[in-house]
A and B are shown apart, each in its own frame.
Chain A
Amino acid sequence: MNAKRQVVVTGMGLITPLGLDEQTFWQNMLAGRSAIRRISAFDVAELYKAKNGAEVDSEQLAAALEAAKIRASDRTVDMGLLAASAALASAGLLDAEGRCTEKGVATIIGSGGGPILTVEEGYRRFAELGDRGMRPTSIIRGMLNVICSHLSMRYRLTGPNYMVVSACTSSTNAMGIAFRMIRDGYADRALCGGTESFFASLVYRCWDKLGVMSTNPDPAAASRPFDTNRDGFVLGEGAGMLVLESLEQAKARGAVIRGEIAGYGESSDAEHMTRPSVEGQVRAMRAALESAETSADEIGFVNAHGTATKTNDECESKSVREVLGGSADRVPVASNKSFFGHMLGASGAVETAAALLGLECGRVPPNLNLVNPDPLCNLNLVGKDAIDVNASVVMKNSFGFGGNNAVLILRKAPVG
C-alpha cells in the first residue's frame, strides 16, 4: 500500500433551499438570507406543531431536472443526481454525454432516510388500494442504495458504490470514508456527500411527534442555534456532493483545487439514542485533528453542527471549548443551520461545502437569530453579520441520533 496521500476537493455541487447552484447559495449566505418558510409540500395548518421548513424550490428543481434530462423519480434521488452532476462537471470529469471520464471513481453517499418519500407513497397506495396499489418495483425503488446506484449508473462511476446511514452524520461519515479510501490508496477519486428529504405528510409527522423541532410561529426566526430562546431545529432538505481526489491525480490532470480534506475523526457515544455526550464528541474532534496532523491552535473557525436544540448546542459548546482549550475565546463558531435548517443526512456535506467556500474567500456567514447568546454556549459565536477571517484550517462537526460523531478537518487551497 502507498504512503498516505493528500486528498483534495476538485468539485462541488449543491441543491439547497438557498439556491440550486454554488454561487446563489453562497451569496445568500453572505447576505444573511434565511431559507426557512412555512412548509408548502403539504398542509400543515392543523395537526402539525412544527410548521416551518427549508424546502428546495420545487419549480426550480423541476426546471433543473428537465434541463438535465433527468426523469423525476424520487425527490431525494433527483436532488442527489443534480448535485452530483454539478460536482462532477465542476471537477471537469464529465464528457459530452455526461459520463465520467475517469475509471474507478467511488460513490459514497450519506442519507438518513434514503428514498423515504417513495416508501411513504408506496404505503399510501397500499392503504388506499390494497394489493392492487403495490408497485412490483417497490423494492428497487425503496432500497436505501437506490441513491448511490442511480448516481453510479448515470455518470458511469465504476468504483466502490454504497450508502452510509448514520442519521445526521451520514454525509460527514461518507466524506470521511471516501477521504480514507483515497488517502490510503484504495481509490484515486470519489464522489461523496449526501441527499435528504423528509417533506411528506407522514414522515414529517414522525419528526413532529418526536418534539425536537421548533414551534416558533415566525419561520425566519425559528432556527436559532446557540440562542437562549432556541426551541428546537427546523427541518431542511437538499443535497451536497463533493469530488475528492488524490493531490497527485488532481495535479496531473490540471484540476482546480478547491481545498483539502486534511483529516477525519469519528466516534460513538455508546450511551443514549438522542442525548449527546461531550466525551464522545471530544474523542471524534481529537481524532480528526490527529488524523490531519494538526492541533487546535491551527483552527481558524468552526463550522458547528449547531442544530438549535437545547441539548445539542449546549453539549457541542462544551465539547468544542474542551478541544479548543485556550483558543476557544478566539476561534469563531457558526452554525449554517440558522439559514437552511437541518438537512439531516445531507447537512454535513452542504455545510462542508459552505466551510470550503468560507476558506476560499475568507468569510464566515453569520449565526442568524443569535440575539441572546446562551451563557451555556460559551464560545466565540459569530453574530448577525458575516465576518472576515484569515483562516487556513476549519473544523466541521456533525453529530447524529444514535450517538454518532463525525468531524472533518479542512484546509485551504493551495495545498501541497
Chain B
Amino acid sequence: MTRPEIGEKLRQVMKESVRKELDWQNVTENSRIAELGFDSLSILDLVYDVQQAFAIDFDAEELVGVRTVDDLVSFLEARLQ
C-alpha cells in the first residue's frame, strides 16, 4: 500500500468514525487529530476503526507522539511494511 493510498483510506475511516460535522475540504495532512472532533472517548473508536480497516493490531499507547493526520499516516506506513 502506497503512502497516498494509506492517506486516502485513513481519511475515509476518519470520516466514518468522527461524530462531529466537519468540512473535510479543510482537513490537511497537517491537521491535528485532536482538533477534528475526536475526544478521549471517540479516539478509542477511531483506533478500533483504523485497526479493522487496515487489519493490524497495535495498542493505543503506541500512538503517543502521533499528533497530526500525517503522523498517523507515517505510523501506519511503518506498521504495514
B44 within 8 A of partner (CB): yes
B6 within 8 A of partner (CB): no
Residues of B close to A3: CB separation below 8 A? none
B47 within 8 A of partner (CB): yes
Contact of B19 among A71, A132, A136 (CB under 8 A): A71
Residues of B close to A69: CB separation below 8 A? 21
* Interfacial residues of chain B within 52-81, with CB under 8 A of chain A in the complex: 52, 57, 60
Residues of B close to A132: CB separation below 8 A? 51, 57
Residues of B close to A71: CB separation below 8 A? 19
Q: Tell me, in angstroms, the Cα distance from A69 to B22 when the chains sit together.
A: 12
Q: Tell me, in angstroms, the Cα distance from A216 to B19 when the chains sit together.
A: 43
A63 within 8 A of partner (CB): no
Residues of B close to A137: CB separation below 8 A? 41, 44-45, 48
| From B19, B44, B45, B48, residue with most partner A Cβ within 10 Å | B48
A45 within 8 A of partner (CB): no
Considering the complex, give the chain A residue whose CB is closest to the CB of B55.
A132
A-B contacts, 5 listed (Cβ < 8 Å): A69-B21, A132-B51, A132-B57, A137-B45, A140-B41
Q: Tell me, in angstroms, the Cα distance from A140 to B44 when the chains sit together.
A: 12
Residues of A close to B48: CB separation below 8 A? 135-137
A residues whose Cβ falls under 8 Å from a Cβ of B: 69, 71, 132-133, 135-137, 140
Considering the complex, give the chain A residue whose CB is closest to the CB of B16.
A71
B residues whose Cβ falls under 8 Å from a Cβ of A: 19, 21, 41, 44-45, 47-48, 51-52, 57, 60
| Cβ of B69 to closest chain A Cβ, rounded Å | 20
| Cβ of A96 to closest chain B Cβ, rounded Å | 16
Q: Tell me, in angstroms, the Cα distance from A69 to B41 when the chains sit together.
A: 21
Considering the complex, give the chain B residue whose CB is closest to the CB of A140.
B41
Considering the complex, give the chain B residue whose CB is closest to the CB of A125.
B52
Residues of A close to B44: CB separation below 8 A? 135-137
Q: Tell me, in angstroms, the Cα distance from A45 to B45 when the chains sit together.
A: 35
Considering the complex, give the chain B residue whose CB is closest to the CB of A129.
B52
Q: Give the number of residue pairs across the A-B interface with Cβ within 8 Å.
A: 18
| From A69, A132, A133, A140, residue with most partner B Cβ within 10 Å | A132
| Cβ of A116 to closest chain B Cβ, rounded Å | 20
| Cβ of B45 to closest chain A Cβ, rounded Å | 5
Contact of A136 among B21, B47, B57 (CB under 8 A): B47
Given known contacts A69-B21, A71-B19, A135 and B45 CB-to-CB distance under 8 angstroms: yes
Q: Tell me, in angstroms, the Cα distance from A349 to B47 when the chains sit together.
A: 38
Considering the complex, give the chain B residue whose CB is closest to the CB of A69.
B21
| Cβ of A100 to closest chain B Cβ, rounded Å | 20
Residues of A close to B19: CB separation below 8 A? 71
Q: Tell me, in angstroms, the Cα distance from A292 to B71 when the chains sit together.
A: 65
Q: Tell me, in angstroms, the Cα distance from A135 to B51 when the chains sit together.
A: 10
| Cβ of A99 to closest chain B Cβ, rounded Å | 15
Considering the complex, give the chain B residue whose CB is closest to the CB of A132.
B57
Given known contacts A69-B21, A71-B19, A136 and B45 CB-to-CB distance under 8 angstroms: yes
**A133-B52, A135-B48, A136-B60 provided; 15 other pairs, C-beta below 8 A?**
A69-B21, A71-B19, A132-B51, A132-B57, A135-B44, A135-B45, A136-B44, A136-B45, A136-B47, A136-B48, A137-B41, A137-B44, A137-B45, A137-B48, A140-B41
Q: Tell me, in angstroms, the Cα distance from A71 to B45 when the chains sit together.
A: 14
| Cβ of A132 to closest chain B Cβ, rounded Å | 6
Residues of A close to B21: CB separation below 8 A? 69
Residues of A close to B57: CB separation below 8 A? 132
Considering the complex, give the chain A residue whose CB is closest to the CB of B56.
A132
| Cβ of A67 to closest chain B Cβ, rounded Å | 14
Q: Tell me, in angstroms, the Cα distance from A361 to B16 when the chains sit together.
A: 45
